[in-house]
Amino acid sequence: MDSQVLTAQPEAPLEAAHGAEAAHLPGPSFWPILLASGFGLLTTGFFFWATGASAGLWLALGAVLTLIPAMGWATTIAAERRQMDPAQTERDLHRGFLLFLVSEGCIFGAFFAHNYYLRLAAPAWPPPGAPVLATTLPAIGTLVLVLSSFTVNLSHHALKHRRVAVAKNWLLLTIAMGIGFLGIQAYDWGFLLQFDKFTMDRGVFGAGYYIMTGFHGMHVVVGLLMLSLVYWRMERGDYNDPTYSFSTDAATWYWHFVDIVWIFLFFTIYLLG
């Protein structure tokens, strides 16, 4: 048998080897690291504040290291997307964000499972000595948050139909309602801490109450940051092309998620006691 001479072929570039998929790979970025650091500082400051320690510096640094990287990352993603296939990138981003919401739902699900397990195992719930949680003010906060889901949906719908001025007005109202909800929660916390001396060290009931409502409050803050970024991009005119509107979808979905979680929290903590 005659030997065959095999001619070595040059390796195909990565783009050719993987086809169009390589076009969807984002470049390296330092924004996620800074944003994660900001979240970490906010979380640390929150727990310091909840335990009565000095937390102002931690919260301030956390806010700065959350807001600026979030804006920078959003701008970078918006610029990168215009160099990629719009349809495929849109599908990838939506799929990834839905998985992110599922992971967040799992965290809250663990809190709920722990709470209901304690209820079933305890001889009495709430435990003796726990304050009776008033429902009037939290109910008002619940109504405000539920209504804000409608206003953010109106904003999202208006933007889809290129009515940017209307979208901005509804979005500003949503942001104001979210801030109002946080104000109601802060007042409720302050009342319990000041007059009922109800703190996190008051057993599993106190720890569970502050961790679950506080963790949700942190998500409301993140949601407000996302809505603020959308408003900022509206002002920049970034949504003149309806093809690139994932950030509005993500912010709207996230806000609905925050709303749904709070409804379950309100029922579990305030109505069931």
Query: Could you report the average pLDDT of every consecutive run of 10 residues in the chain (273 residues)?
Result: 44 42 65 88 80 83 87 78 71 86 94 93 86 91 97 94 93 97 93 82 85 92 91 86 78 96 95 83
Q: Is residue 45 part of a domain?
A: no
Q: Residues of 193-209 as b/e, b for ≥16 C-beta within 10 angstroms?
A: eeeeebebebebbbebb
pLDDT score recorded for residue 86: 67
3-state secondary structure the chain: CCCCCCCCCCCCCHHHHHHHHHHHCCCCCCHHHHHHHHHHHHHHHHHHHHCCCCCHHHHHHHHHHHHHHHHHHHHHHHHHHCCCCHHHHHHHHHHHHHHHHHHHHHHHHHHHHHHHHHHHHCCCCCCCCCCCCCCHHHHHHHHHHHHHHHHHHHHHHHHHCCCHHHHHHHHHHHHHHHHHHHHHHHHHHHHHHHCCCCCCCCHHHHHHHHHHHHHHHHHHHHHHHHHHHHHHHHHHCCCCCCCCCHHHHHHHHHHHHHHHHHHHHHHHHHHCC
Q: Domain with 217 in it: what CATH number?
A: 1.20.120.80
Q: Is residue 263 part of a domain?
A: yes
Q: Is residue 153 part of a domain?
A: yes
Q: Is residue 64 part of a domain?
A: no
Q: Is residue 6 part of a domain?
A: no
**Domains in the chain, number:** 1
Q: Is residue 15 part of a domain?
A: no
Q: Is residue 4 part of a domain?
A: no
Q: What is the pTM of this model?
A: 0.77
Q: Of 70, 53, 92, whose CA–CA distance to 222 is shortest?
A: 70
Q: Is residue 67 part of a domain?
A: no
Q: Of 179, 218, 205, whose CA–CA distance to 45 is shortest?
A: 218
pLDDT score recorded for residue 13: 44
Q: Using an 8 Å Cβ cutoff, are 24 and 92 in contact?
A: yes
Domain that holds residue 108: 88-271
pLDDT score recorded for residue 19: 44
pLDDT score recorded for residue 7: 44
